[in-house]
């Protein structure tokens, strides 16, 4: 996935996945919308997976995504957070973590579909 980020003119800073979700910290060019970047990342990584692996259950992404900006002063703590995902998600689910994060920061979401 880091190669795909580079091919999209992005700079990978941290990447970790514990099956679901994928946490990615990267810089992208201002001319590229986050939505276009994520769409291209999902499309290219799906193609890469399908070309290289014969997965009996297939491979696919959720239709949506969550994206947050990070100030330069928060990059290192966010990197540590991403690197610690395996241990972290043993105590709190991603669904609960995202819900708490959205509520803490006053971000509106649809409780029925926020994980689509």
In a domain, residue 109? The reply is no
**Residues of the chain above pLDDT 90, percent:** 39
Query: Which tokens sit at 30?
Result: 């201002």
Q: What are phi and psi of 112, to 5 degrees?
A: -80, -25
Residue 51: inside a domain, yes or no?
A: yes
Residue 40 falls within a domain, yes or no? yes
Return the exposure string of 3-13: e unless at least 16 CB atoms fall within 10 Å of the residue's CB, then b.
ebbeebebeeb
Q: What is the pLDDT of residue 102?
A: 92
For residue 38, tell me if it sits in a domain.
Answer: yes
CATH number of residue 23's parent domain? 3.30.70.1290
Instruction: State which residues form the domain around 95.
Output: 2-104
* pTM confidence score: 0.80
Q: What total number of domains does the chain contain? A: 1
Contacts of 63 (CB under 8 A, 6+ apart): 116
Q: Which residues are paired to 22 by β-bridges?
A: 17
Q: Does residue 112 sit within a domain? A: no
pLDDT digits (tens, 9 = 90+) for 35-88: 999 999 999 988 888 888 888 777 778 888 889 999 999 999 999 988 988 887
Element (H, E) at 7: helix 2-7
């Amino acid at each position: 996935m880091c190669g795909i980020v580079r091919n999209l003119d992005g700079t990978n800073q941290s990447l970790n996945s514990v099956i679901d979700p994928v946490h990615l910290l990267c810089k992208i060019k201002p001319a590229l919308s986050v939505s276009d970047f994520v769409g291209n990342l999902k499309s290219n990584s799906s193609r890469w997976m399908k070309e290289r692996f014969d997965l009996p259950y297939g491979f696919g992404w959720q239709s949506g995504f969550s994206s947050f900006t990070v100030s330069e002063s928060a990059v290192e703590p966010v990197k540590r957070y991403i690197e610690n995902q395996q241990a972290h998600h043993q105590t709190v689910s991603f669904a609960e973590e995202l819900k708490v994060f959205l509520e803490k920061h006053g971000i509106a979401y649809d409780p029925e579909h926020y994980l689509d």
